[in-house]
Amino acid sequence: TMFMIFEYAENGDLKRLLDQFRKNIKKTDINLNNFNKIKISFEIAQGMEYISSIDIVHKDLAARNILLDK
C-alpha cells in the first residue's frame, strides 16, 4: 500500500488563486503583483529542480498541484 502525505496549505492551490484573481475576488492574502508572480514561478522551478535531482519525475505539473502556504 502506498500513501501520499501532504502538508496543509492554508491558501489552497495555485489554480484556485488564479481563478479568484481573474474573477476579482479578493478573498486571498496573496497579492499577484509581478514580483509575486516571478517569486512563485521561481519557487516552482526550484522544487522541480530538486525532485529531478533525486531522480523523481513529476509528470503532472499543473496549477492544481501547486499548493500555497502563507
Active centre residues (catalytic): 60
DSSP secondary structure of 14-58: HHHHHHHHHTT----S----HHHHHHHHHHHHHHHHHHHHTT---
